Structure 1
């Protein structure tokens, strides 16, 4: 039995009654979190640009944030997926280093509206998609190099694996059986794409990656429904997914290991800070040092130690990371995020208002960021990427050195965000564009998704606002 067939049979046979309670709760919380992040991203210029494109695709049955009326499901998936990933505030799975929700939630909601699905069916389809998505990423984890092969090659694993996951979610909601889902997987494997150069050198295209993955996943499911097929060995074949993207450096067992019996979804990390997840240990550590009494005016120099594979994302090129050209670029800067945390941020410690274009022109903050030296940290390397650890050391003008090490990120299974913290994050995010009553209604509907008879009970809170 091929890998795609095993994935297809798992997804086709999965029933809501099969889902553990913590998986159901986790999926609902991820819908809540994803919608909050997408709403917060609604005012961005890039959001307007994607909506302009989507508007040209005509009307339909699905709801896109910030667009009046209904649009085609493919357009809604593109818009909502783009918004969900635009602020780098979406969740992360380890060691796959994927951000699955920004692809899966928009695809599931768009398909659910298209097919008139009940909430419990959307939860079930999304759960199947999450499990397939993260295992594709886990298959490409190179234990010897302690890195994901996709990332070594500059490929955005989220959008590549997320396209297949979106196809599974949409296909299951469309009523495809195992044969149809196998075809959808085979088709979607030809559609996933994404390059990470924007992380290093700028550009906003990465924001679109998850929207395009959600859109492409719906397209793959539609094509499968119409009779297009894919190769059965699309994942493990000589010219298949893992050989093409990862040069055959893959653990094929990890792709299906524990599928349906060991659930990865509840272990996916929620993000407390709107920045690249590689920066979070530094933020955690800097906040702890600040809370311990370290004052910005007393600091002579700062050292941020992280796992070596993360340096190219948050530390290189050094000149650009010390003086990010935009608020978006600052979200991928180790020096800027550490400086922000030391100076004092908002929200859950550091928040969206800390990453505006105006904020990155604050010369006092940039002077502090210039004192941050990013280095490889041996202890962090040992834990990466099953964790995203780091250490911050500050040398004070008195000559004293203070240090704080983080081995478990806030928001992960070892240090989970409380229900109140998740609710605070959602309220802060959604409250940027929705009135209080709509924020509360959307929160309650998201957390009751499994009992909703129609997704209109969810989407009504943001439509036409």
Structure 2
């Protein structure tokens, strides 16, 4: 009998968990996440980087195996479709988040699974199973790198993007399942995927659009790893815990193996992954909620004299430092990582959809004089009460003094879209419709929503992707 290793345990779980063994809340959650990712892929076509990635994958040529959302009727090689869709899914920073690992599992795993499903001619039922298992693998690897004493991800402390690193391995397992790999093959796919996992998170601090590539590259690597194993490539069975393995390379050997194996197959993380109600870095969401709450109470944006946004100490460097840059984002992308902008967006925004939407994060609004003036009045500080709830939540406190001498204060200790304040199916469908408005005709959006609701009943996943391959990104005409 082969010596047990962490990769073999994950592979045994993946190979030995049939669809019928998945809890109902897991399969339901997978459907919600597929709909969320597809909507994000459509919405991302407003960005120049989205046009760039579609042009890039289209130029490569190759066999027609899977479709990129908005990439045209001609299918692409499956890894390239996964690359494009992964970039699109993560580009708006509107994708789901697992806590406390602070990674975004669906933006890598779902694109990898959808591409592999199209390649294999898989059913919706098979795809749901693969996504569920891939998400679980991704989250457990992320949790193995979570340091409870520091209250933060060790990957993050090392400057590594756990989302794309762990997403490569989770996506590879999902793709491997759909390509028919057995337990041994799934062990190998982890061994190969670990050598392609990557992502550096500096762009969160000082700008650049490279982070949008991370989940695409993870999905591309995931599908490629599964294809290579199917052709005979193999990987080390000790790829995770080995002397020169994944955890040594990324975490200097400091990790929690029990997070991978404890309750594997019985205690599922998938339903507890947080959805994002707002299109920005998840650390800013409770700042949005806090400002929206003060606005509901009667605070007028033009009357703000000063404001103090309190956040968890580990979050400060992402959304509050350097403060002069966070108070003056140059574009909509930088605004997504700004605590001061979150306050300004909530106080000045239109308040449509779920409260703050994609229309609030544009290059023009990031430089709007009124918002710039308000951001200049917002200090971002570490707050003890917020820090105490991190990273199981991303709490915030907000104290504002207005020009009439009044003081306004509120605390948001839990995230909307998480287990304590979940988004309903209806709210997630509203998010999908907001994301696809102007690009998908209403009838097409209805058809996609209906098929995702019955995802496990689809005979071929191509039936779903075909609706999203082509649309007019300027007018929304089909």
- The TM-score with structure 2 as length reference comes to 0.96
Asked if structure 2 preserves the Cα contact closer than 8 Å seen for 1:160 and 1:213, the reply is yes
Q: Are 2:161 and 1:156 equivalent residues in the alignment?
A: yes
Which of 420, 439, 455 is equivalent to 2:445? 439
- Out of 252, 262, 266, the position equivalent to 1:247 is 252
Compute the displacement of 1:233 (Å).
1.2
Q: Deviations over 1:228-271 (max 9, x none)?
A: 11111111112111111112221110122211100110000110
Question: Equivalent residue for 2:27?
Answer: 24
From 27, 34, 37, the counterpart of 2:37 = 34
Alignment match, 1:62: 66
- Does the CA contact (< 8 Å) of 1:40 and 1:432 recur in 2? no
TM superposition shift of 1:362: 0.6
The aligned residue for residue 419 of structure 2 is 413
Q: Give the whole-Å Cα distance in 1 for the aligned partners of 2:302 and 2:111.
A: 45
Partner of 1:380: 386
Consecutive unaligned residues in structure 1, runs of 5 or more: none
Shift of 1:421: 1.0
Rounded Cα–Cα distance in structure 1 between residues aligned with 2:416 and 2:441? 29
1:81 aligned residue: 86
Structure 2 partner of 1:175: 180
Match of 2:476 in 1: none
Q: For 2:110, which of 100, 105, 115 is the aligned residue?
A: 105
User: Separation in 2 of the partners of 1:335 and 1:153?
Assistant: 26
Range that drifts further, 226-235 or 340-349: 340-349
Equivalent residue for 1:10, pick from 13, 17, 30: 13
Cα RMSD, aligned residues only: 1.0
User: What is the alpha-carbon distance in structure 2 between the residues aligned to residue 185 and residue 419 of structure 1?
Assistant: 33
Distance 2:446 2:131 in 1: 23
Q: C-alpha displacement at 1:330, in angstroms?
A: 0.5
Displacement after TM superposition at 1:175 (Å) = 0.6
Separation in 1 of the partners of 2:232 and 2:247? 25
Q: Deviations over 1:20-59 (max 9, x none)?
A: 1110100000000010011000232101111122112324
Of 355, 365, 373, which residue of structure 2 is paired with 1:367?
373
Cα deviation 1:112-170 (Å, max 9, x = unaligned): 00000000000001110011100111111111111100111111000000000110000
2:50 equivalent to 1:47: yes
Q: Where in structure 1 do 4 or more consecutive aligned residues deviate above 6 Å? A: none
Alignment check: 8 A CA contact 2:303 2:403 kept? yes
SS at match of 1:254: helix
**Paired positions, count:** 465
Out of 343, 353, 356, the residue aligned to residue 359 of structure 2 is 353
For 2:343 and 2:158, the matched residues in 1 are separated by: 27
Q: Does 1:257 align with 2:249?
A: no
In the aligned structure 2, how far is the partner of 1:460 from the partner of 1:117? 14
Q: How does 1:59-458 map to 2 (within 5 A)?
A: 59-68=63-72, 69-345=74-350, 346-458=352-464
* Alpha-carbon separation, structure 2, partners of 1:460 and 1:186: 33
Moved more, 334-343 or 270-279: 334-343
SS class of match (1:395) = strand
Structure 2 distance, partners of 1:43, 1:297, is: 30
**CA distances 1:413-439 after superposition (whole Å, capped 9, x unpaired):** 100012221111000101231111111
Contact 2:90 2:212 in 1 (8 A): yes
Taking the aligned partners of 1:464 and 1:280, their CA distance within structure 2 comes to 32
Does the aligned pair in 1 maintain the 2:40–2:94 contact within 8 Å? yes
Give 1:459 shift. Answer: 1.3
SS at match of 1:42: helix
Q: Distance in 2 between matches of 1:67 and 1:269?
A: 29
SS of corresponding position for 1:234: coil
Report the Cα distance in structure 1 between the residues aligned to 2:139 and 2:190, rounded to whole angstroms.
15
Within 2, Cα distance between the matches of 1:165 and 1:83? 18
Q: How far has the Cα of 1:400 moved from its partner?
A: 2.7
Bigger mean CA offset, 343-352 vs 174-183: 343-352
- Give distance in 2, aligned partners of 1:323 and 1:219: 41
Contact 1:42–1:65, Cα closer than 8 Å, also in 2: no
TM-fit CA distance, 1:399:
2.9
